[in-house]
Amino acid sequence: MNIPLIRLLNQQLVSPIFGSPLEVVDWMGAVQAQDPRAARWAIGLRMKLPALSTVEQALDEGLIVRTHVMRPTWHIVAAQDLRWMLMLCRESNERIFRSYFKSMSEELSQEQCGRAFDVLGDALSGGRSLTVAELEPYFAERNLPHAARQLHAYVLMAENSGLVCSGRLRGTQNTYALIDERIAPQPELSREEALARLACKYFRSHAPAMLEDFVWWSGLSVTEARRAVALIADELTVERFKGAVYYLHDACRIRGRMAGTVALLPPFDEYLLGYKDRTAVLPVSFQTHAFTNYGIFFPVIMHRGQLVGNWKRTSVRPASSSFPPPTVSFFRTDLQPSEDALAKAVASHGAYLCR
31 band by pLDDT with thresholds 50, 70 and 90: very high
Average confidence score pLDDT of the chain:
94
**Among candidates 294, 295, 305, 313, which has minimal Cα distance to 332?**
305
Strands 300-303 and 262-265 come out as antiparallel
pLDDT at 171: 82
For residues 200-208, average pLDDT = 98
Choose between 147 and 125: higher pLDDT.
125
For residue 206, what are the contacts with CB-CB under 8 A and spacing of at least 6? Answer: 7, 10, 11, 213, 217, 270, 274, 275
Per-residue CA distances from 61 to 35, 65, 206 (Å): 20, 9, 27
pLDDT in tens, 230-285: 999 999 999 999 999 999 999 999 988 877 789 999 999 999 999 999 999 999 99
- Which value, to the nearest 10 degrees, does the dihedral of the CA atoms of residues 94, 34, 131, 52 take? -140
Are the beta carbons of 270 and 43 closer than 8 angstroms?
A: no
pLDDT at 322: 62
Are the beta carbons of 251 and 215 closer than 8 angstroms?
A: no
166 band by pLDDT with thresholds 50, 70 and 90: very high
pLDDT at 138: 96
Are the beta carbons of 31 and 58 closer than 8 angstroms?
A: no
> 10 Å Cβ neighbour count for 118?
12
Domain with CATH 1.10.10.10 in the chain: 192-249
- Cα–Cα distance, 124 to 179 (Å, whole number): 10
| CA angle 161–95–89, rounded 5-degree value | 50
> What is the full DSSP assignment across 16-72?
----SHHHHHHHHS-EE-SSHHHHHHHHHTTSSS--HHHHHHHHHHTSEEEEE-STT
- Cα–Cα distance, 337 to 301 (Å, whole number): 9
CA within 13 Å, CB half, 313: 16
- Cα–Cα distance, 122 to 158 (Å, whole number): 13
> 10 Å Cβ neighbour count for 330?
17
- Cα–Cα distance, 338 to 214 (Å, whole number): 34
- Cα–Cα distance, 342 to 253 (Å, whole number): 25
- Cα–Cα distance, 254 to 35 (Å, whole number): 31
- Cα–Cα distance, 301 to 342 (Å, whole number): 9
pLDDT at 104: 78
Q: Is the confidence at residue 320, as pLDDT, over 60?
A: no
Exposed / middle / buried, residue 295 (Cβ in 10 Å: 0-12, 13-18, 19+): exposed
**Among candidates 86, 174, 82, which has minimal Cα distance to 135?**
174
> 10 Å Cβ neighbour count for 130?
20
Strands 64-68 and 74-78 come out as antiparallel
pLDDT at 316: 56
For the ranges 31-40, 118-127, 316-325, which has the lowest average pLDDT? 316-325
For residue 273, what are the contacts with CB-CB under 8 A and spacing of at least 6? Answer: 32, 291, 297
* Domain 192-249 sits in CATH 1.10.10.10: yes
Residues in the chain: 355
pLDDT at 55: 98
Element (H, E) at 176: strand 176-178
22 band by pLDDT with thresholds 50, 70 and 90: very high
- Cα–Cα distance, 108 to 149 (Å, whole number): 12
315 band by pLDDT with thresholds 50, 70 and 90: low
pLDDT at 258: 77
pLDDT at 317: 52
107 band by pLDDT with thresholds 50, 70 and 90: confident
pLDDT at 244: 95
pLDDT at 234: 97
